[in-house]
Each structure stands twice: as structure tokens, then as C-alpha cells.
Amino acid sequence: MLLCLAIGTLFLAWKHLSLTDVTTILSSKKIKFQKCSIDKYLETGLEFLKTAERPPLDEYVIRRNNLAKALVADGVDAFVVEPGYTFSYYANVTQPEWEVWEPEERPFLMVIRPVKLPNGFIIANTSFLVPRFEEVRARLLNMPFADEISTVTYEEHWNYYTTLWESPIWGEVLSPTLMVDEEIREFIVLGLASNGFTIVGLGGEVEAVRQVKTEREIGILRAVNTGTVEAIRAMRQCLYYGVTENEVVEVLDNTMRAAGMDPFFDIVEFGKQAALPHGGHDGQAKLEPGDFILIDVGSHLYGYSSDVCRTFYPPFFPNPPPPEYNITEKLAVWQLVLDAQAASVKAMVPNGTAAAVDIAARSVIETAGYGKAFTHRLGHSLGIKAHESPYLNKGNFEAILRPGMVFTSEPGVYVLNEFGVRHEDILVIREDGEAENICGGYATSPWNP
């Protein structure tokens, strides 16, 4: 009786609080949540950052020279790209850094050609097609070149593509064959093809240059992905019932920022919300007892991406769980997805196929009767983009795995209107032995993600 009176009194008190009072109380809880998360994160010492080094000029020279060798191997005269992810890989300029307003109609193209030296070495010779009035601005980008950049400039009333075709950079080649990057816009491709150039799409050894990571790249990927997993683990320790998905997003992002990382996407789903692999709800769901929490999140460090996923219980949900919560199937599926991931890792070997890795994981889930609930591919490569080729799907027998390639393995099972489970880790293909996990270790239980 006394308990009922106490609860009734609290309810009436809450009912008569002003909106300002309620907002203050809720804000205070979120502030404590965030402080706890960041403090737990900083307690790790952020040791994972030690493997990351911003790429120096020499790294970009090596990349362009590797591209030049690949162009020769593919029988192509030049590689052409406009500002974007690939441009930043070879010259450290993203599209917003060149055109902060929007991608515009005046082409700014990087043209990389192979040159064979007298000693037999093949190196890259790089030129830039740029509007004449923008030439000085292009030089002020401080792109990673030892010498002044070489430009081919055009006036606005000229034919941009004929200007490039008539430039002396082609020597005796009459109809240069250009390999164009997958991000280049169609009107530029059509303009080049209509004005003397032979165009081929991205592929072969040229595409493989970005697919195979250097140890410096792997060091950055190790740091940003481990840092992202550690942020999830730190934040988890501070969760409370009633927190919303959107509040978790905000606190997790600010936690990663405490390590100097730049978050760029979050999927946070509680309970049945996680049956949609990429979300779609409004983020207002509140954490309830018995809910699985699925978090898929990415951040940037020195231009490189993380992309990891964990499915877990909050620390205050008992282990073993109370019998009144019917979570036997959830726990079985959690382990099933982990077993599928382990099978995929064993298939990540040099000269294996991308398809074989997907099939290894999918077979485990299909054997358990959840094949139709694994609704997406197993994974993808990862680098300066969160999603890069090659892609791990059961039809991709053409992509052959090479040492230095980096992949996600992210099997999942999604039971509509009930729950979803996904584990995602980052793996490096190694010359000998099993693929290496570079994101701080696998989850071991729903209470130890």
C-alpha cells in the first residue's frame, strides 16, 4: 500500500513538472551518459592511434608509380579521374575541397600516364586539365608532388576535350586509350570519347592498385576500426533503460570525436527495429529490457574509413538472462552468425574467390535454417571509401583475393518484426595463415562485444 502511494506521488510530481523541468532532467541524463562514455573511452589510453600515420608525399608517389605499372600491364595510355575518392587516393584532393559548392560543368581532370625510363623503370607522369582561370587555384591545393604540377589549360569557349587531345603530352600516340575511373561523370566520358580518345572502363591491374593496401594504409585502417569498436565498448558500459536510439548515435559520435576521428554514419537499432539491416525507423525507440542492441557505425581518420557492427545486450541485463525473457532463439542466432563469420575468415586466403568467402558464411546460416533471413552479401572491401571493390557476394567468382586486400565480414540474420543480429569485423588477407582481424578482436558473447 505504501509503495503504491509512493509511486502515485512520484507520478503526480512528474505530471506537474514544467516542460523546462522535464527537459532539464532528460538533458542531465544524456550529459552523464556522454561523460561516462567519453571517460571510459579515454581510459583505454587511445593506444590504437599509434598505428596511424598521415600518408607522406612518398606514399602518393608510390601509388602513382604503381598505377603507371598497372597501366602498362593493361595496355592503356592513361588513367583519367576527376576530384573524388580516387582522386584523393592519388593526389589528396576530394570533390568538396575542389568545388565546395557543387560538382560543376567545367572539367578538372587528373591524367596519369606511364613513362618508361632508360633503366627500365616505369614511373607516372601526371598532368591536369583545368580552366585557365582556375590554374593558380589548382596549384594552391598543395597536392603531393615533389615539383610544380603540369597543367593543360583551356578557355571557357574552347572544346575542353579537343584541348586535351591536342596537347603535347601524348607524343606520337594518335588516339590515346584512356581508362576512366568509375566515379567520373558520364558527360565527361562522352566528351572524351567524341573527341579522339578511346575509352575503357575501370578494371584489370589498374583497379587492383587501390584494392591492395600498403602497410601504412593498413595501419590507418587498424587504428580507425579498432577505435570505432573501442568506442562502442566504452559507450555500452554507460547505457541505461529508456535511452533512445538517437541519443546513442549522438553520444557514440562524440565519443569517437574524442580520439580525433570523424564519424560519418550510424545505424543504431533496438529490439525488433534491427530486423531491417540498414534501419529506416525514426530513431525514437527506447531501450527496453530484453532488447538486443545492433550498432553499425563508421568513422574517418586521415581519410580512411571504419565500418564495424556489434549486436549485444547492455551490461545491466543479467547473464544468464532471467527465465521470463524468452531469448533462447536470439542467443542461438547470435552464436550462429558468429560461427558464419568464422567460416568466412577461414575462406579469406590468397587466390581464393570473393564468392567462396560469401558462400562459406552463407552455408552455415542456410544449414541452420535461416538462409532466407540472411538478406545481403557478406561484405566488401574497405579503404578511403567504406564500400570498395571487390565485393563479397556469392556470384563474384571473377574477383581473386590478393595479400593486402582488406574486407568486411558482416553476416546477419534478420527475423522481421522480432530481432536482427549482425557481426562485422575488418580482415586483411595475408600471404600465409588466416586473415588478420584489425578492429580490436571479435565479439565473444552478447555481453562481451
Dihedral sign computed on CA atoms, order 272, 278, 279, 280: negative
CB 381 within 8 A of CB 407: yes
Phi, psi of 387 (to 5 degrees): -120, 110
Rounded mean pLDDT, 273-284: 93
pLDDT of 24 over the 80 cut: no
pLDDT of the residue at 15: 46
**DSSP secondary-structure letter at 213?**
-
Residue owning grid cell 531501450: 287
pLDDT of the residue at 28: 86
pLDDT of 6 over the 80 cut: no
How many Cα atoms within 13 Å fall on the side-chain side of residue 185? 14
Comparing CA positions, the residue from 73, 77, 82 lying closest to residue 170 is 77
> CA–CA separation, 436 vs 438, rounded Å?
6
Rounded mean pLDDT, 29-38: 96
Tens of pLDDT, residues 399-441: 999 999 999 999 999 999 999 999 999 999 999 988 999 999 9
Comparing CA positions, the residue from 92, 118, 95 lying closest to residue 108 is 95
**DSSP secondary-structure letter at 271?**
G
CB 199 within 8 A of CB 180: yes
Grid cell digits, residue 413: 540474420
pLDDT of the residue at 323: 86
> CA–CA separation, 388 vs 318, rounded Å?
39
Please report, as a single letter, which amino acid is at residue 4.
Answer: C
The predicted model scores a pTM of: 0.91
Say what percent of the chain tops pLDDT 90.
Answer: 89
Tens of pLDDT, residues 105-161: 999 999 999 999 999 999 999 999 999 999 999 999 999 999 999 999 999 999 999
> CA–CA separation, 330 vs 338, rounded Å?
12
Tens of pLDDT, residues 229-244: 999 999 999 999 999 9
> CA–CA separation, 110 vs 91, rounded Å?
9
**Cβ neighbours of residue 400 closer than 8 Å, sequence gap 6 or more:** 351, 352, 353
Specify the range with the lowest mean pLDDT, choosing from 22-26, 223-227, 402-406. 22-26
Q: Which domains does the chain have, with CATH numbers?
A: 26-51+213-437 (3.90.230.10), 57-211 (3.40.350.10)
Phi, psi of 131 (to 5 degrees): -55, 140
pLDDT of 2 over the 90 cut: no
Dihedral class, residue 432 (left if φ above 0, else alpha if ψ from -120 to 50, else beta):
beta
Q: How far apart are the first and last CA of the chain?
A: 42
Rounded mean pLDDT, 374-390: 97
Grid cell digits, residue 283: 530513431
| Pairing outcome for strands 262-270 and 293-301 | antiparallel
Where does the pLDDT of residue 324 fall: very low under 50, low under 70, confident under 90, or very high at 90 and above? Answer: confident
